[in-house]
Structure 1
Amino acid sequence: MPRRSRFARELPAAHRPRPVADLREEGVTRSVLAGPRWRRTSRGFYVPADDEGRTDPEATPTPTQRILDVTLLVPKAGAIRGWAAAFVCGVDHLDGRDPYLMAPLPILVYQGKDTGRQTIAGVTFSREQLPPSDVEQLHGTTWTTRLRTAFDGGRLAPCLAEGVAFVDACAHHRLVDLEELGAYTADHPRWRGVEQARLAVSLADPAARNPWESRLRMCYMLEADLPRPEVNRPLFDRDGNLLGMPDLLDEEAALAVEFDGEGHRRRRQHRGDNVREEGFESAGLTVVRADSLDLRDHRPELIRRLHSGRHRGLRRDRGYDSWTTVEPQWWLDAYGTDGLLTDGEKAAILGQYDG
Structure 2
Amino acid sequence: MRRPDPLPRGFGDRAFSFEQAVDRSISVWRLRSDDLRTPFRGVREPADRPVTILTRCEALQIRMPEGGVFSHATAALLHGLPIPRVLADGPLHVSVPRPVRAPRISGVVGHQVQFCDGDVVSIRGWRVTSATRTWRDLASRLSVAESVALGDAIIHWRSRRASISDLARRASTLRGRPGAVTSAAAIPLLHERSESPQESALRVMLVQAGLPRLDVNVPLYDANGAFVARPDLRFPEFRVVIEYEGDHHRSDRAQWRRDFARTMALQDLGETVIRLGAADLVPETAKLVTRILVRAGWSSFAT
Shared fold (TM-score, shorter chain, > 0.5): yes
Structure 1 residues 102 and 117: alpha-carbon distance in aligned structure 2, compared to 1, 3 A threshold? closer
Of 23-32 and 40-49, the range deviating more from structure 2: 23-32
- Deviation sequence 1:135-189 (CA, Å, 0-9, x none): 2344332222233223334x23321111111111111231112223323434564
In the other structure, the counterpart of 1:204 is 190
CA distance in 1, matches of 2:274, 2:30: 56
2:125 equivalent to 1:135:
no
SS at match of 1:279: helix
In the other structure, the counterpart of 1:230 is 215
Contact 1:74–1:80, Cα closer than 8 Å, also in 2: no
CA distance in 1, matches of 2:294, 2:31: 63
Structure 1 residues 97 and 36: alpha-carbon distance in aligned structure 2, compared to 1, 3 A threshold? farther
Contact 2:238–2:296, Cα closer than 8 Å, also in 1: yes
How many residues were matched structurally?
Answer: 283
Shift of 1:33: 4.8
Structure 1 residues 219 and 114: alpha-carbon distance in aligned structure 2, compared to 1, 3 A threshold? same
Map 1:150-169 onto structure 2 (within 5 A).
Answer: 150-153=135-138, 155-169=139-153
SS at match of 1:22: helix
CA distance in 1, matches of 2:153, 2:65: 28
In the other structure, the counterpart of 1:305 is 288
Structure 1 residues 228 and 19: alpha-carbon distance in aligned structure 2, compared to 1, 3 A threshold? farther
Contact 2:37–2:46, Cα closer than 8 Å, also in 1: yes
SS at match of 2:20: helix
Structure 1 residues 151 and 102: alpha-carbon distance in aligned structure 2, compared to 1, 3 A threshold? closer
2:61 equivalent to 1:71:
yes
CA distance in 1, matches of 2:34, 2:290: 54
The amino acid across from 2:57 in the alignment is I
CA distance in 1, matches of 2:46, 2:295: 58
Q: What fraction of aligned residue pairs are identical, expressed as a percent?
A: 27
Structure 1 residues 284 and 33: alpha-carbon distance in aligned structure 2, compared to 1, 3 A threshold? farther
CA distance in 1, matches of 2:90, 2:289: 31
2:228 equivalent to 1:243:
yes
2:290 equivalent to 1:290:
no
Shift of 1:251: 1.2
RMSD: 2.9
Q: 2:240 aligns with which of 246, 252, 255?
A: 255
SS at match of 2:45: strand
Of 269-278 and 224-233, the range deviating more from structure 2: 224-233
Shift of 1:277: 0.9
Map 1:318-337 onto structure 2 (within 5 A).
Answer: none
2:72 equivalent to 1:85:
no
In the other structure, the counterpart of 2:180 is 194
TM-score between the two structures when normalised by the length of structure 2: 0.80
Shift of 1:234: 0.9
Q: Where in structure 2 are there 5+ consecutive unaligned residues?
A: 1-12, 299-303
2:265 equivalent to 1:279:
yes
CA distance in 1, matches of 2:293, 2:33: 59
CA distance in 1, matches of 2:228, 2:199: 20
Q: Where in structure 1 are there 5+ consecutive unaligned residues?
A: 1-14, 53-60, 316-355
Structure 1 residues 27 and 246: alpha-carbon distance in aligned structure 2, compared to 1, 3 A threshold? farther
Shift of 1:35: 5.5
- Deviation sequence 1:8-56 (CA, Å, 0-9, x none): xxxxxxx76311233355576656655553332210112223243xxxx
The amino acid across from 1:18 in the alignment is F
The amino acid across from 1:20 in the alignment is F
In the other structure, the counterpart of 1:314 is 297
In the other structure, the counterpart of 1:41 is 39
The amino acid across from 1:235 in the alignment is L
Map 1:40-59 onto structure 2 (within 5 A).
Answer: 40-52=38-50
Structure with the greater alpha carbon radius of gyration: 2
- Deviation sequence 1:173-228 (CA, Å, 0-9, x none): 31112223323434564544233223222211111111111111112122x33234
- Deviation sequence 1:306-355 (CA, Å, 0-9, x none): 2233234337xxxxxxxxxxxxxxxxxxxxxxxxxxxxxxxxxxxxxxxx
In the other structure, the counterpart of 1:268 is 254
Structure 1 residues 187 and 300: alpha-carbon distance in aligned structure 2, compared to 1, 3 A threshold? closer
